[in-house]
């Protein structure tokens, strides 16, 4: 009998199955398209990695209580649970959805399955196809009983944090796992856009060529910006085009795709009233990039251009590094603020220190900075990240250089919305007074929405101009 079953042999599913198998577990696999199962088993199978063409035989091959991981697109999960597996599972069996499902759908699925005595986990998995094979970051939530059953396997296949511990932890009840993964992906959207804007500044204001860009980001990755995303930029900038002369990046169409998790994060922030400008601007930038034909027509306009003197380029690189570091802290702060709000609203049982810890390895947003966040959240996870003296010591010295880099980009008419929004978030949080009193006065003027005063208790309305 197999220790675990895996249903769905797409890129992530097949690599996860190989990962589990490599850790000494016997694995049964199944895919709706039989040929995919056959091909997979022919390439990787043995007596402890077995494929099945029949779903019933697949289920019956797994030791009880059964543990099954489903790795299918989010819009196919309900069909698998309610149609294909319906009637094949028994009370006490457990299922883990390892896809990018929307957390509210995960909550509904857990309720349905629990009514049948079946445990259910919604598990965010980050790290892409390489992470799935070599060690991802795992964010499971839902049935604690199901988590305890899956944990010995998940702990073996997960990446390791900076202290060598497995990058997996129980996120909390209900849709907690997929919620945390959603926020992870939102931060990922923001981080990628910030890096793209830093590239834009260095390329078009600093005048750096691809070799210079690779060397600059390699230098950045040796310091406080050390992270997976900065690391891979070095390879991207160095990649030559096999089809033509020059660098591959220059041949890639500047129209970015998206699967929707960044949009989910932005919508959730709006729902809970949390400022999440960096992620929202990252989504907006991808949306804007899709209008390539329109941009090509309007891009012929004669806009101003800035070219730095060569003697100033090295200092500009320092400024961009500071801007990128400050913006990265800001993006994380916004993401954690959303997680704090979700905890108050939904009572998941989130542990920000554990979330920071399991993001240290395997996942796309893994970064050295997460070590500090883990330590700080262990002290107090009710604070805003900016309230910690250690964060202020890192963040506040970046502001002048950050602002100067944006100003130079503005002179060159460069779109830098995510980096600017990240800075505005910092300015807004650290400013005791704001212009919202005028907003509220206007609301009261035309809609009698009332207002509160700074000097008196209660709610007030004014007949303006009377």
Over the stretch 40-69, which tens digit does the pLDDT of each residue have? Answer: 999 998 989 999 999 999 999 999 999 999
Q: What is the pLDDT of residues 405-434, one digit of tens each?
A: 999 999 888 999 999 999 999 999 999 999
Residue 443 has what pLDDT? 96
Are 339 and 352 in contact by the 8 Å Cβ rule? The answer is: yes
Number of domains comprising the chain: 3
Claim to verify: residue 426 and residue 441 sit in the same structural domain: no
Residues 6+ apart with CB under 8 A from 249: 210, 236, 237, 239
Section 302-316 average pLDDT: 79
CATH of residue 65's domain is 3.40.50.720
Same domain, 36 and 152: yes
Predicted pLDDT at 308 = 80
Q: What is the C-alpha to C-alpha distance for residues 237 and 246, in angstroms, rounded to an integer?
A: 11
User: Which pLDDT value is given to residue 83?
Assistant: 87
Residue 176, in any domain of the structure: no
Reply yes or no on whether the pLDDT at 180 is more than 70. yes
What confidence category does residue 310 fall into, taking pLDDT thresholds of 50, 70 and 90? confident
Residues 290 and 245 in one domain: yes
Q: Domain boundary at 139, 170, 201, which?
A: 170
What range does the domain containing 452 cover? 435-465
What percent of the chain has a predicted confidence (pLDDT) above 90? 87
Let me know if residue 331 belongs to a domain: yes
Under the banding of pLDDT at 50, 70 and 90, the label for residue 304 is low
86, pLDDT greater than 90: no
Q: How far apart (Å, rounded) are the C-alpha atoms in residues 458 and 451? A: 9
Question: Per-residue pLDDT for 303 more than 80?
Answer: no
Inside any domain, residue 175: no
What's the CATH code of the domain at 459? 1.20.5.320
Residue 223, domain member (yes or no) = yes
Q: Are residues 208 and 338 in the same domain?
A: yes
**pLDDT score for 311:** 75
| Integer Cα distance of 358 and 349 in angstroms | 16
* Mean pLDDT taken over the chain: 94
Lowest-confidence region among 292-306, 410-424, 449-463: 292-306
> Which pLDDT band holds residue 302 (cuts at 50, 70, 90)?
low
**This prediction's pTM:** 0.94
Is position 30 within any domain? yes
CATH number at residue 380: 1.10.1040.10
What is the Cα–Cα distance from 241 to 308, expressed in whole angstroms? Answer: 28
Separation of alpha carbons 70 and 55, rounded Å: 13
Q: Are residues 445 and 388 in the same domain?
A: no
> Residues 248-264: what's their mean pLDDT?
88
Residue 244 and residue 377 in one domain: yes
96 and 146 Cβ atoms separated by less than 8 Å: yes
Mean pLDDT of 119-133: 94
Answer yes or no: is pLDDT of 222 > 70: yes
Q: Are residues 440 and 391 in the same domain?
A: no
The reply to whether 260 and 166 lie within a common domain is no
Residues 420 and 454 grouped into a single domain: no
Same domain, residue pair 85 and 130: yes
Query: Is 390 inside any structural domain?
Result: yes
Per the CB < 8 A criterion, the answer to whether 266 and 183 are in contact is: no
- Label each residue of the chain as H, E or C: CECEEEECCCHHHHHHHHHHHHCCCCEEEECCCHHHHHHHHHHHCECCEEEECCHHHHHHCECCCCEEEECCCHHHHHHHHHHHCCCCCCCCCEEEECCCCCHHHHHHHHHHHHCCCCEEEEEEEECHHHHHHHCCEEEEEECHHHHHHHHHHHHHHCCECCCCCECECCCCCCCHHHHHHHHHHHHHHHHHHHHHHHHHHHHHHCCCCHHHHHHHHHHHCCCCCCEHHHHHHHHHHHCECCCCCCEHHHHCCCCCCCCCHHHHHHHHHHHHCCCCHHHHHHHHHHHHHCCHHHHHHHCCCCCCCCCCCHHHHHHHHHHHHHHHHHHHHHHHHHHHHHHHHHHHHHCCCCCHHHHHHHCCCCCCCCECHHHHHHHHHHHCCCCCHHHCHHHHHHHHHHHHHHHHHHHHHHHCCCCCHHHHHHHHHHHHHCCCCCCHHHHHHHHHHHHCCCEECCCCCCEECCCCCC
CA geometry: angle 316, 321, 322, nearest 5 deg: 95
- Quick check: 457 pLDDT over 80? yes
Whether 215 maps to a domain, the answer reads yes
From the CB of residue 269, how many other CB atoms can be counted at a distance below 10 Å?
23
Q: Is residue 252 part of a domain?
A: yes
Same domain, 186 and 145: no
Asked if residue 133 and residue 25 are part of one domain, the reply reads yes
18 within 8 A of 44, measured Cβ to Cβ: yes
Q: Rounded to 5 degrees, what are φ and ψ at 122? A: -105, 115
Catalytic residues: 181, 188
Question: CA distances (Å), 436 to each of 48, 226, 269, 392, in order?
Answer: 64, 38, 19, 25
């Amino acid at each position: 009998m197999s220790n675990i079953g895996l249903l769905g042999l797409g890129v992530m599913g097949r690599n996860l199955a190989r990962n589990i198998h490599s850790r000494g577990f016997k694995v049964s696999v199944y895919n709706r398209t039989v040929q995919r199962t056959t091909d997979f088993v022919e390439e990787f199978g043995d007596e402890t990695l077995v494929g099945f063409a029949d779903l019933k035989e697949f289920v019956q091959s797994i030791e009880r209580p059964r543990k099954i991981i489903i790795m299918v697109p989010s819009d196919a999960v309900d069909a698998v649970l309610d149609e294909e597996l319906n009637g094949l599972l028994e009370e006490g069996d457990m299922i883990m959805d390892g896809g990018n499902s929307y957390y509210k759908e995960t909550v509904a699925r857990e309720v349905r399955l629990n009514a049948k005595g079946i445990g259910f986990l919604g598990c965010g998995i980050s790290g892409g196809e390489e992470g799935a094979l070599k060690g991802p970051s795992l964010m499971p939530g839902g049935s604690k009983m199901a988590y305890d059953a899956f944990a010995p396997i998940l702990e073996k296949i997960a990446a390791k944090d900076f202290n060598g511990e497995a990058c997996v932890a129980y996120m909390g009840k209900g849709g907690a796992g997929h919620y945390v993964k959603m926020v992870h992906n939102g931060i990922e959207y923001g981080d990628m856009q910030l890096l793209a804007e830093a590239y834009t500044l260095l390329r078009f204001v600093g005048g750096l060529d691809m070799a210079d860009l690779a060397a600059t980001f390699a230098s950045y990755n040796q310091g406080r910006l050390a992270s997976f995303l900065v690391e891979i930029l070095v390879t991207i900038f160095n990649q030559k085009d096999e089809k033509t002369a020059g660098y591959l990046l220059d041949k890639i169409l500047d129209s970015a795709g998206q699967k929707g998790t960044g949009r989910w994060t932005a919508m959730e922030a709006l729902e809970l009233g949390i400022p999440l400008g960096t992620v929202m601007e990252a989504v907006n930038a991808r949306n804007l990039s899709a209008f390539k034909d329109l941009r090509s027509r309007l891009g012929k306009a004669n806009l101003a251009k800035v070219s730095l003197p060569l003697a100033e380029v090295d200092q500009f690189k320092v400024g961009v590094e500071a801007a990128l570091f400050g913006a990265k802290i800001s993006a994380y702060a916004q993401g954690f603020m959303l997680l704090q709000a979700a905890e108050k609203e939904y009572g998941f049982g989130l542990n920000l220190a554990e979330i920071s810890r399991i993001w240290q390895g395997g996942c796309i947003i893994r970064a050295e900075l997460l070590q500090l966040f883990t330590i700080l959240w262990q002290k107090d996870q009710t604070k805003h990240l900016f309230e910690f003296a250690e964060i202020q010591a890192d963040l506040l010295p970046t502001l002048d250089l950050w602002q100067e880099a944006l100003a130079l980009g503005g002179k060159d008419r460069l779109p830098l919305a995510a980096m600017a929004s990240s800075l505005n978030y910092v300015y807004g949080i650290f400013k005791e007074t704001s212009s919202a009193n005028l907003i509220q006065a206007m609301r009261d003027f035309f809609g009698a929405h009332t207002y509160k005063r700074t000097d008196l208790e209660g709610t007030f309305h004014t007949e303006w101009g009377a």
